[in-house]
Amino acid sequence: MYKNIEKQDPKLFGLIQKEEERQRDGLELIPSENIVSKAVLEAMGSSLTNKYSEGFPGARYYGGNEIIDKIENLARERAKKLFGVPYVNVQPYSGSPANLSVYIATCEKGDKIMGQHLFDGGHLTHGWKSSITAKFFNAVQYHVGEDGRIDLEEVERMAMEEKPKLIWVGATAYPKEFPFKEFGEIADKVGAYLVADIAHIAGLIVGGVHVSPVPYVDIITTTTHKTLRGPRAGMTMVTEKGLKKDPDLPKKLDSAIMPGSQGGPHNHTIAAMAVAFDEASKPEFKEYAKQIVKNAHALAERLKENGIELVGNGTENHLILAKCGKGKGALAEIVLDEAGLTVNKNTIPQEPASPFFPSGIRLGTPSITTRGMKEREMEKIGDVIVEAFEIFKDLELPDGKGSEKREFLKNFREEIKGNEKVLELRKKILKLAKDFPIPDFFV
């Protein structure tokens, strides 16, 4: 597949080979990662990358876009049908640019916006203090309750008091189903734009295992590379409700993308999105989405049975947040990484440490479900995670500065490489990976 890279750039070829070996011999449990089909990869590597196409179909700034127009329209029409919306823009480079375009289209600098608190699972672009979205806009943030669910009473109270111009519903680390209907009612009371960021759950919505936001929100943003199993890209959509609220929303969002925040679209990526949308329209994708949720539930139950505490006491989607002890998320990430399970450290609600050294890890089942694993394999993976937790349970990060903690983690990573228990766990994961190889349909 990489014969020209191998000949022209052997150093890069070697690195690609190592990464493919890592993916092949380990298991990806990061919920925002998946495995794309060969067809998606072929589109990503096609000659479409050669063409500049600033503007939109029928209104380009460059010539020679007759075929590109048809490709982009194909992607847009497939997305509209897939999600049941009247307007789609497939040009955002990723999820954050898609979200930024919503601000540009609906808000003025200094307007008040509402989003979910980062420690409670929210996304940076929903108004977190270190994001440009909080520097340009007046952000207020809501939380989850003791049960791990969004505190709707707080959301309504905050909305009524703050009167935001825009409200986000959607998150990056939330293991419950999103209450789109309730958010819609709250947004209507204060006249706010309601935007659903479905980046994590887009594939679950298409697969019919998560409620759709389409009847309740004005705008939808998403990525296409998580549960939707497409290329790394973003997308914005407007619903019928959004059109009734503001008939000019499509024009505003188009202008917010080009020329508001981006230049030429990535035509090769848009073609790959079209491929992924077609794949997601097939009946087998619905079965895949169902299995993602079944697997997540099975993995969560196995962890709970063995004493690992989960945010929200489980999951209703593809994602699990496991508590590791104060500041120990990085320790868990390192041990599991050495054992062949890729996870990411993550904050938990009411985080007792910091987002740099958080107290949880985030787990998900999209990638391992693509490999054909089911509930029985989730039990085996859960057992490995439980054993891995035993390795670091008595360790504590130093109380000093961040540099001291980073040095501690660096040394810990080196020490753990030769740990007999970790090597034993690595063998178990390698066997699972070999028993469930990345399918021939996929790379």
Catalytic residue among 133, 223, 236, 369: 223
Pair of tokens at residue 353: 């440490």
Name every residue whose Cβ is closer than 8 Å to that of residue 193 and which is 6 or more positions away in sequence: 102, 106, 165, 166, 167, 187, 218, 219, 242, 245, 246
Burial of 63 (C-beta count, 10 Å sphere; 0-12/13-18/19+): exposed
The neighbour count for residue 304, using CB atoms within 10 Å, is 16
- The Cα 186–Cα 416 span in angstroms is 50
The neighbour count for residue 59, using CB atoms within 10 Å, is 11
Q: Are 294 and 216 in contact (CB under 8 A)?
A: no
Q: Are 201 and 148 in contact (CB under 8 A)?
A: no
- The Cα 118–Cα 144 span in angstroms is 11
Residue 157 designated active-site: no
Residue where the block lists tokens 């409200």 = 167
Catalytic residue among 232, 252, 406, 413: 232
**Helical segments of 108-201, H only:** 132-136, 152-162, 180-190
Q: Are 194 and 217 in contact (CB under 8 A)?
A: yes
Residue 370 designated active-site: no
Residue 315 designated active-site: no
Pair of tokens at residue 1: 């597949």
Give me the half-sphere count of Cα atoms (radius 13 Å) on the Cβ side of residue 78: 21
Catalytic residue among 28, 197, 218, 254: 197
Catalytic residue among 176, 226, 245, 302: 226
Pair of tokens at residue 400: 């000093």
- What is the SS3 assignment for 323? strand
Residue 54 designated active-site: yes
Residue 223 designated active-site: yes
52 phi and psi angles, rounded to 5 deg: -90, 135
Catalytic residue among 6, 33, 54, 69: 54
- What is the SS3 assignment for 223? strand
Residue 239 designated active-site: no
* Partners of 222 in the β-ladder: 235
Residues assigned a catalytic role:
52, 54, 197, 223, 226, 232
